[in-house]
């Protein structure tokens, strides 16, 4: 029997007999690790410990101490839920039930459920956990599988699609219940230390609005009760920080019925925040040598066919017919930037050429997937594309990464980094993809960055480095990207004249510092709980006259000294206490209280949203501090610190 070689996380290689499983590899490393093995991660995919390995695989062993263990545990909790549901409601039909970052869900039909049913289901789930049933993997033939699911069209659909090429299928069995599943799972139901059903929503089968609507039940699970309690407290905090709630409280944005789903309207306060974000991105772009460009929202679909977007994105595009010609709202900005580059003749001395644009794009997401600003039909990307020689790739990507890390530092955010590799739907040769992936990996390694491999999550035209923001609640949100693209320059026949006077293809690099403004705005709103830093706040200062007699002095302060900032005057005939409370609720960074004493002395009393206060402050001194606070983009108002 021939041997295979797999690569371990430390870069070392392990030689195994062909046909060896994940657990065999663990035993080869050490008997203790073999005993403790729960699952494996093979080339970025979580798999059962009984799955066979192949030559060249990258392998991570998963134990109950691994980060991936909780995902395995939650997958098993989804099965416990499904078993409990069918014990109580045998008529229920199961669709799919995967783990998620926060827990699990299971899509079901044939039973009328609401959250009032949770207590009974959880009681039955607890009985299954207490029984500590072994969870065993069993292989069944296709004939057996179809016979078991003769009355379940959803499982039959899975058998005919994802499992269409499999002669045998894996089932996971616990007690007298079983489910078609690739796994992996924990060894027994008793390993699930704590669980909770969270909420119910509706979902379309396969996410397709033209297919059946199912009931989706969400839940979560942990190893220990204390971890569940911490999660539930964090979940309540997340509800309080929900950007849709804060957006209404601070009058930032709305999504009106007349605009259609996923098409946000930005109110003056929201647009002020977006303007501040845009100005900062422009500052970073200009410092890095990018030139501003602008492309239209609409192009002939000839452009999208040439770029490859039509064949890969047509189902998500908004298409329309104009004078018997097909046009499409742009789903991405890159083909427009490639078209601009193609208008000139370039020398190797001219490269790199860098463009940036706050470009609005449109993608026809399923209505059930739309949610506030986190997923919309129309969104704006702080897009940048540069065209360079192959020998310039590493320097350019390093510069981009430095700019992205500057953004993380400015907003006091932690980063999670991943290398996303070739997806199933892609364009370009194997050689080009291998070259692109190896170059991005080399840059990450040279930077000494910790990163994950996200197999199959690259763009259709090239691999990418993904950065995720971690917010104040420890949640990860998709953020900036760096994408290496050898394919689009070929499709658009882009070229430059080399030192040898021959024509050469440039390399195209796609990058964004925020990702989309909508998602970044949403994340910042929740991260700061609406308490934006001074430089970003929609209303930076509110002047509070103690009586109507000081309104004139308040206007003088605003117009003479603070005109460069976003300042409002509270001129309603309220008590001072009410004015302060209102400003606190509106999360205004600074409040300036002015009464007769302040007017006579030509000073102000300064309060901040942390309820600190100082009297007798010179307006000029306060203004100079604000200029510093804004230019340094400090995270918290600190005049009274």
Per-residue pLDDT tens digits for 53-82: 999 999 999 999 998 999 999 999 999 999
User: Do the annotations mark residue 510 as ligand-binding?
Assistant: yes
Q: Is the dihedral of CA 485, 491, 494, 498 positive or negative?
A: positive
Backbone angles phi, psi at 517, to 5 degrees: -60, -40
Angle at 198 between CA 197 and CA 203, to 5 degrees: 100
- Where are the alpha helices (H) located in 242-346, listed in sequence order? 243-249, 268-287, 301-307, 309-313, 334-341
The reported pLDDT for the residue numbered 557 is: 96
- pTM for this model (two decimals): 0.81
* Range from 405-409, 482-486, 552-556 carrying the lowest mean pLDDT: 482-486
- In the predicted structure, residue 430 carries a pLDDT above the cut 70: yes
- On whether the CB atoms of residues 573 and 621 are closer than 8 A, the answer is no
User: Do the annotations mark residue 309 as ligand-binding?
Assistant: no
For the chain, the average pLDDT equals 93
- In tens, the pLDDT along 493-530 reads 999 999 999 999 999 999 999 999 999 999 999 999 99
User: Do the annotations mark residue 388 as ligand-binding?
Assistant: no
- Secondary-structure percent of the chain, ordered helix, strand, coil, rounded to 5: 40, 30, 35
Residue % of the chain over a pLDDT of 70 = 99
Upper half-sphere CA count for residue 263 (Cβ side, 13 Å): 8
Residue 569 — pLDDT band, cuts 50, 70, 90? very high
What whole-number distance in Å separates Cα of residue 264 and Cα of residue 253?
7
Upper half-sphere CA count for residue 37 (Cβ side, 13 Å): 27
What whole-number distance in Å separates Cα of residue 9 and Cα of residue 68?
14
- In the predicted structure, residue 460 carries a pLDDT above the cut 80: no
Upper half-sphere CA count for residue 466 (Cβ side, 13 Å): 20
- In the predicted structure, residue 266 carries a pLDDT above the cut 70: yes
Structure tokens at 636: 């918290």
Domains of the chain, first to last:
3-62 (3.10.20.30), 72-240 (3.30.980.10), 253-527 (3.30.930.10), 541-631 (3.40.50.800)
Residue 1 — pLDDT band, cuts 50, 70, 90? low
What whole-number distance in Å separates Cα of residue 607 and Cα of residue 596?
17
């Amino acid at each position: 029997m021939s041997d295979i070689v797999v690569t371990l996380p430390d870069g070392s290689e392990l030689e195994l007999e062909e046909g060896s499983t994940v657990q065999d590899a663990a035993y080869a490393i050490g008997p203790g690790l073999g005993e403790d093995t729960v699952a494996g991660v093979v080339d970025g995919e979580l798999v059962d410990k009984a799955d066979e390995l192949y030559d060249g695989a990258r392998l991570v062993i998963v134990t109950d101490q691994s980060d991936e263990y909780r995902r395995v545990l939650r997958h098993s909790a989804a099965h416990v839920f499904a078993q409990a549901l069918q014990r109580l409601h045998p008529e229920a039909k199961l669709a799919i039930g995967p783990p998620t970052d926060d827990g699990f869900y299971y899509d079901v039909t044939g039973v009328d459920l609401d959250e009032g049913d949770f207590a009974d289901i959880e009681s039955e789930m607890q009985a299954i956990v207490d029984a500590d049933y072994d969870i065993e993997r069993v292989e069944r033939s296709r004939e057996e599988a179809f016979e078991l699911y003769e009355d379940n069209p959803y499982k039959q659909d899975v058998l005919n699609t994802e499992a269409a090429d499999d002669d045998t299928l894996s089932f996971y069995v616990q007690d007298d219940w079983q489910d078609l599943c690739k796994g992996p799972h924990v060894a027994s139901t008793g390993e699930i230390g704590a669980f909770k059903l969270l909420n119910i929503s509706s979902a379309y089968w396969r996410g397709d609005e033209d297919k059946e609507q199912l009931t989706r039940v969400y839940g979560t699970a942990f190893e220990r009760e204390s971890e569940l309690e911490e999660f539930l407290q964090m979940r309540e905090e997340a509800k309080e920080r929900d950007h849709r709630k804060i957006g209404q409280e601070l009058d930032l944005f709305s999504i009106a019925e007349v605009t259609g789903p996923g098409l946000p309207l930005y109110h003056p306060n929201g647009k002020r925040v977006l303007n501040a974000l845009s100005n900062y991105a422009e500052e970073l772009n200009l410092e890095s040598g990018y030139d501003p460009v602008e492309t239209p929202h609409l192009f002939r679909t000839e452009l999208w066919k040439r770029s490859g977007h039509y064949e890969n994105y047509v189902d998500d595009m908004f298409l329309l017919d104009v004078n018997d010609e097909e046009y499409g709202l742009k789903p991405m900005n890159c083909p427009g930037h490639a078209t601009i580059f193609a208008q000139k003749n370039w020398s190797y001395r001219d490269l790199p050429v860098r463009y940036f644009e706050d470009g609005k794009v449109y993608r026809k997401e399923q209505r059930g997937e739309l949610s506030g600003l986190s997923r919309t039909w129309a969104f704006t990307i702080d897009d940048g594309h540069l065209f360079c020689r192959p020998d310039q790739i590493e320097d350019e990507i390093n510069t981009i990464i430095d700019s992205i890390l500057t953004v993380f530092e400015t907003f006091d955010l932690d980063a999670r980094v991943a290398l996303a590799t070739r997806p199933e739907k892609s364009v370009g040769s194997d050689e080009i993809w291998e070259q692109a992936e190896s170059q991005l990996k080399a840059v990450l390694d040279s930077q000494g960055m910790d990163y994950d491999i996200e197999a199959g999550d690259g763009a259709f035209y090239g691999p990418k480095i993904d950065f995720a923001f971690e917010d104040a609640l420890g949640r990860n949100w998709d953020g900036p990207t760096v994408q290496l693209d050898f394919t689009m320059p070929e499709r658009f026949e882009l070229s430059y004249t080399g030192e040898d006077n021959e024509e050469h293809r440039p390399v195209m690099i796609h990058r964004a510092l925020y990702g989309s403004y909508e998602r970044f705005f949403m994340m910042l709103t929740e991260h700061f709980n609406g308490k934006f830093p001074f430089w970003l706040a929609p209303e930076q200062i509110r002047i509070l006259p103690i009586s109507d007699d000081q309104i004139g002095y308040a206007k003088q302060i605003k117009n003479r000294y603070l005109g460069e900032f976003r300042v409002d005057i509270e001129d309603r005939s309220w008590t001072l206490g009410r004015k302060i409370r209102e400003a606190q609720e509106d999360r205004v960074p600074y409040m300036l209280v002015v009464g007769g004493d302040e007017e006579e002395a030509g000073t102000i009393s300064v309060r901040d949203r942390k309820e600190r206060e100082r009297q007798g402050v010179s307006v000029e001194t306060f203004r100079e501090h604000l200029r510093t606070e804004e230019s340094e983009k400090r995270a918290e108002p600190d005049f009274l610190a």
